[in-house]
Amino acid sequence: MNTINKNLYLFWQGTMLSYRALFAWLRPVTYMASKILMPLAQMFFFVFLGSYASNGKNVDFYVIGNAIQITSVSGIFGVTMSVGGDRDAGTLPYLFGTPSNRFIIFFGRAFMHIIDGAIGVVIALTWGVLLMGLDLSHTNLSALGLTILVTTFSTCGLGLLMGCLSLLTANVMFVNNFVYFSLLIFSGANVEVTALPAWMQFVSNILPLTRGIAASRALAAGASFSDISPLLVSEMGIGLIYGLLGYFLFSWFETQAKQKGTLETV
Amino acid sequence: MNAIEISNLNRVYRAQIGVFNRSIKEVVAVDDISFDVQAGELFGLLGPNGAGKTTTVKMLTTLLIPSQGSARVAGFDVVKQANEVRRRIGFIFGGERGLYWRLSGDDNLRYFASLYGVDPAVSKKRIPYLMELVGLQGRGNERVGGYSRGMKQRLHVARTLLHDPDILFLDEPTIGLDPVGAREFRNVILNLQSQKKTILLTTHYMFEADALSDRIAIINKGRVIALDTPSGLKGHVSDLSVVELETFGTPESVLEKLRSLPFVDALSVEDREQKQMLLVQTKRGAEAVPDVMAALDGQRIGRVIVREPTLEDAYVRLVGGQA
């Protein structure tokens, strides 16, 4: 077996097994409550609140914004668990004691959450169509599907960075919650980015999700794939930057732990 | 041929103390140790808590960078050629953590096999073989969370053998196991020894080290204070006898009085539930018993035995009764 095949096998095994091993919500009741009911309840809350505030004019705006924002449940919380779970399982020394490719291990931890997050968005959009009158009749559904995948990928990039923080501290869930709820505002899910103060718009532009939501809204309004492709490329780029930052933090953490002898104390 | 070569190895931990008046506290965990382990040898590393055993193992398994000195494992430098070392070693740290409890035993092994780059066709055959080797045949489909502590420890052994390493580091592998589990585990180690694996074993259990090891290094306060075969180490106390006395709640002042008697070479105390076992090392053998009893005047004394010294007695003498 050559190196490429070994790495592909490692990626596949690492993806599937680490998802099952480290994703603490992977039990039917917990999964339903955390990944389906809670995001849908959040979506309904903001849709009804927004609809009430705008006299029922902007329902699609809130449905799409909040449905796409659901990617961050997988992207932030799911990926953090999958990266930081080794800390709780005590498997970090055994992981770092292998000659395996760290890049593949690291990004393999996020892969299933991209699929998982995208499925969550599709469920939310389906509820939006069935219960809230979301109209996708003029939408390029293939482009919307790709947009959902790219947006989930970029939020997972942020999740990889957050996951590395969870290797350094036991209290990362506080930070995760802060980031998750900040995205509700900064990403434009519930407030037009252009309506935000300048400094908030700056933050919006360096976060994942913002462009994905804008692209999805544009597609729902009938835009073509070529219209939204610049947004997708930017969204992908932001996800990659966060993912790479996470990887460098992961590598830095491994080196520091070996130099300072903190591997067993994290 | 040497499987492990350690030369003037040193490790200092630095900890920052205080918030406003910050200062750095340095702790020397391993202090200039040197020894070699031959290929196929089972080498025991003994020492009290905090002696530097685990720190040494961590440096040899590439998980900790030495402050000074060098170490080569399987001919490769543990810092500069870490990945070459990792391909050729397996290691276990005591305890049941370090496995994915939500996965089955087989899936744990499958995942670690991929981390070591084992060909899937090889691991498919090797996993059932290893599960049988460690006595877990038929349990591979069960979640590890439902395994007993002993089963988890044995799964760790299977995990460490997935890539068929030549050198194994077993850091207190039987800690926390019940006597039956510990005996089964020792049989697994003997099996590995018969396969000509080089094994570095750290343990607190002297009889375990005595029964299994070809040679033993005793480490205390980061330094190797003795290195010999088990019988060679026992030679350090061949001139002594050990008087064992079963007592109940002997106060420290009485123990100090006993310790200060001129014919007492060393005294160690083992707490066994409500009882205490006093182990008095002396050159006077049975003749010392009346004087020892006199020193314990007023204390409740149970069984008294005079016996030949063991490896544990040699260890106690070498580390100065600090164990």
Domain B236-318 has CATH 3.60.15.10: no
| Per-residue pLDDT, A38 | 84
Does B103 contact A259 at a Cβ distance shorter than 8 Å? no
Q: Suggest the residue from A3, A13, A265 to mutate for an interface test with chain B (most B CBs closer than 10 A).
A: A13
- Is 60 exceeded by the pLDDT of residue A73? yes
| Per-residue pLDDT, A175 | 85
Q: pLDDT band at A121, cuts 50/70/90? A: very high
B 89-128: CB under 8 A from A: 91, 93, 95, 97-103, 107, 110-112, 114-117, 119-120
Ranges of each domain in chain A: 3-260
**Class of residue A161 by CB neighbours under 10 A (exposed 0-12, middle 13-18, buried 19+):** buried
| Per-residue pLDDT, B197 | 93
| Per-residue pLDDT, B74 | 96
Query: What's the gap between Cα A58 and its chain centre?
Result: 25
Least confidently predicted of A150-154, B152-156, B312-316: B312-316
| Per-residue pLDDT, A174 | 84
Does B117 contact A258 at a Cβ distance shorter than 8 Å? no
**Can you give chain A as a three-state secondary structure string?**
CCHHHHHHHHHHHHHHHHHHHHCCCCCHHHHHHHHHHHHHHHHHHHHHHHHHHCCCCCHHHHHHHHHHHCHHHHHHHHHHHHHHHHHHHCCHHHHHCCCCCHHHHHHHHHHHHHHHHHHHHHHHHHHHHHHHCCCCCCCCHHHHHHHHHHHHHHHHHHHHHHHHHHHHCCCHHHHHHHHHHHHHHHCCCCCCHHHCCHHHHHHHHCCCCHHHHHHHHHHHCCCCHHHHHHHHHHHHHHHHHHHHHHHHHHHHHHHHHHHHCCCCCC
Min CA distance, A261 vs chain B (Å)? 6
| Per-residue pLDDT, B4 | 96
Q: Between B61, B64, B111, which is nearest A13 by CB?
A: B111
| Of residues B144 and A29, more confidently modeled | B144
- Is 70 exceeded by the pLDDT of residue A170? no
Ranges of each domain in chain B: 2-228, 236-318
Q: pLDDT band at B87, cuts 50/70/90? A: very high
CA distance A24 to A78: 8
| Per-residue pLDDT, B323 | 42
Residue B138: which region, alpha, beta or left (left: phi > 0; alpha: psi -120 to 50)? left
Does B117 contact A95 at a Cβ distance shorter than 8 Å? no
Given a contact cutoff of 8 angstroms between Cβ atoms, the answer to whether A174 and A121 are in contact is no
Q: Suggest the residue from A13, A94, A96 to mutate for an interface test with chain B (most B CBs closer than 10 A).
A: A94
Q: pLDDT band at B296, cuts 50/70/90? A: confident
Least confidently predicted of A54-63, A112-121, A153-162, B70-79: A54-63
| Closest alpha carbon within chain B to A6 | B117
Q: Which residues pair with B277 in a beta bridge?
A: B246, B270
Q: Suggest the residue from A98, A255, A263 to mutate for an interface test with chain B (most B CBs closer than 10 A).
A: A98
- Is 60 exceeded by the pLDDT of residue B37? yes
Q: What is the mean pLDDT of residues A213-231?
A: 95
Chain A positions in Cβ-Cβ contact with residue B115 (cut-off 8 Å) = 10, 14, 95, 98, 100, 105
Interface confidence (ipTM) of the complex: 0.83
Q: Between B13, B63, B114, which is nearest A96 by CB?
A: B63
Task: Name the CATH topology of B2-228.
Answer: Rossmann fold (3.40.50)
Q: Between A13, A96, A259, which is nearest B110 by CB?
A: A13
Q: What is the mean pLDDT of residues A61-75?
A: 92
- Return the number of CB contacts < 8 Å for A and B: 86
Residue pLDDT, tens place only, B180-229: 878 888 888 888 888 899 999 998 888 888 889 999 999 999 999 999 99
CA distance A134 to B196: 70
